[in-house]
């Protein structure tokens, strides 16, 4: 008999519950069900049915906002205030998907442009790409699931979703709401496992037409290399998001968004602010203000409403972040703050001028640490920001339009935020990692395009 999966609170490791895990037989059953559902074209859900399910699910989720926020805080460690925002975003995401169905359509293809194309009328329609396998991450255990599942439902794809093994409860709760809202189980199934081999079998099964993967670059790119011919995918990884602070930037107003960008969810965000390049003329004042605000962050139990920063997801992650900061300090960086508060909770830290070759300057920290570097020349700062093999979102803070726009044009990023932090996102905007940071474009309407395919119909007529 397969052992149950123990789900614990990220903050104190207390057991929340134990849930049954799925085995190879369960995986085969889910794949067979999804494939059979797709092949029965006469039973495909109509647009109005898909829209109704998504809107009803949004209503149910909104009514249980407090329950889901607490669940996110418990299993994922996100502070309750931010967990509540995640639920609100998830509700909006479901509505976004339903609304997008209204304009999700093909187009007319011009005919009659040559004598050979006369007497024909051509247009495209949208069809589901096929079975979707959605493998998700722990850091937004509800909203990431919405971003993967809602587009699939909106376009009519059967979807099998595997949440992170450490945060499965939010996913299970959302799928239950979808079924309560009237969606037949065959259209959205969960697959619960902590077995990487089984997860790989899900992702690479030839019956899967599209893989949606959110997680580590190492795993994502490996899975992509194993996909059978014809299977498409979207990968969302992370980076070491850069911020450039121009000397014209008003220090009194920029600290708060930068701290939010760097320490939101203890830095466990794929576009978390990590590398901050500050003009030397204002560096001392910037560091003083940044250090004071970071050290004033209220760190602790995410279930307390006053908490601004909670734990890391697991003790091994706290160990890793500490080792990276210690390496940087040993190599000459100065540190403000830092240290361990519990098995999974770290005090937030600021590293000043860590060496370029240090891990904190080269790799995604995914923890409550930001790095500050001084610069004199804007283009040198931009070059340093662009120097890593991954790129996602970037920011520039400036009161002057010229340096802001120069940075916006030259930064290698899929999005450049001007006078805002790197972790800003709305759920309808395109969201994509460049180079090693990802593949494809996220965001609910963009995922709907990925999970669909065009079919052209050409009608020949006389007269």
Considering 75, 86, 236, 449, which one is annotated as catalytic? Answer: 236
Alpha helix ranges (H) inside 110-248: 143-155, 169-180, 196-204, 217-226
Distance of CA 76 to the CA centre of its chain: 14
Q: Provide the total of helices (H) and of strands (E) in the chain, helices listed first.
A: 15, 20
- Cα separation, 175 vs 149, in Å, equals 9
Q: Are 123 and 108 in contact (CB under 8 A)?
A: yes
- Cα separation, 32 vs 29, in Å, equals 5
Residue 341 structure tokens:
């508060």
Q: Is 236 among the catalytic positions?
A: yes
Sole residue written with tokens 């609170």 = 9
Q: Is 256 among the catalytic positions?
A: no
The beta strand positions in 146-295, using DSSP E, are 159-162, 188-190, 208-214, 232-236, 241-245, 273-279
Considering 171, 188, 233, 270, which one is annotated as catalytic? Answer: 270
- Cα separation, 267 vs 276, in Å, equals 14
Q: Collect all residues with Cβ–Cβ distance below 8 Å to 288 and sequence separation of at least 6.
A: none
Q: Are 417 and 392 in contact (CB under 8 A)?
A: no
Question: What residues act catalytically?
Answer: 236, 270
């Amino acid at each position: 008999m397969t052992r149950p999966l123990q789900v614990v609170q990220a903050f104190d490791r207390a057991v929340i519950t134990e849930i049954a895990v799925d085995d190879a037989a369960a995986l085969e059953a889910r794949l067979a069900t999804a494939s059979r559902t797709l092949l029965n074209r006469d039973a495909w859900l109509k647009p109005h049915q898909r829209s109704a399910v998504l809107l009803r699910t949004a209503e149910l989720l909104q009514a249980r906002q407090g329950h889901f926020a607490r669940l996110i805080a418990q299993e994922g460690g996100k502070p309750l205030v931010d967990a509540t925002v995640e639920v609100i975003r998830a509700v909006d995401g479901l509505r976004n998907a339903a609304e997008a169905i209204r304009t999700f359509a093909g187009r007319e293809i011009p005919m009659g442009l040559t004598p050979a194309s006369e007497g024909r009328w051509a247009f495209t329609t949208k069809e589901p790409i096929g079975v979707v396998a959605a493998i998700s991450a722990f850091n937004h255990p509800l909203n990431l699931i919405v971003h993967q599942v809602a587009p699939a439902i909106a376009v009519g794809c059967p979807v099998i979703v595997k949440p992170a093994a450490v945060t499965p409860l939010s996913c299970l709760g959302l799928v239950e709401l979808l079924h309560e809202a009237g969606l037949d189980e065959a259209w959205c199934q969960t697959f619960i496992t902590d077995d990487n081999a089984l997860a790989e079998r899900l992702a690479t099964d030839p019956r899967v037409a599209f893989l949606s993967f959110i997680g580590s670059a190492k795993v994502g790119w490996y899975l992509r290399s194993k996909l059978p011919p014809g299977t498409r995918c979207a990968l969302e990884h992370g980076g070491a998001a850069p911020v450039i602070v121009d000397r014209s930037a008003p220090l009194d107003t920029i600290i708060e968004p930068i701290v939010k960008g760097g320490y939101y969810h203890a830095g466990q965000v794929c576009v978390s602010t990590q590398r901050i390049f500050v003009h030397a003329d204002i560096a001392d004042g910037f560091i003083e203000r940044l250090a004071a605000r970071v050290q004033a962050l209220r760190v602790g139990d995410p279930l307390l409403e006053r908490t601004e920063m909670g734990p890391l997801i697991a003790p091994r992650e706290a160990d890793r972040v500490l080792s990276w900061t210690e390496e940087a300090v040993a190599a000459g960086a100065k540190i403000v703050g830092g240290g361990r508060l519990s098995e999974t909770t770290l005090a937030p830290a600021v590293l000043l001028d860590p060496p370029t070759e240090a891990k904190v300057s080269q790799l995604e920290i995914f923890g409550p640490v930001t790095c500050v570097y001084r610069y004199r020349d804007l283009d040198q700062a931009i070059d340093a920001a662009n120097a890593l093999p991954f790129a996602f979102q970037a920011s520039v803070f400036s009161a002057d339009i010229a340096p802001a726009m120069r940075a916006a044009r030259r930064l290698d990023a899929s999005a450049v935020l001007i006078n805002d932090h790197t972790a800003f996102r709305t759920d309808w905007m395109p969201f994509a990692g460049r180079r090693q940071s990802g593949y494809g474009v996220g965001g609910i309407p963009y995922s709907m395009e990925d999970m669909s395919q065009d079919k052209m119909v050409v009608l020949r007529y006389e007269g």
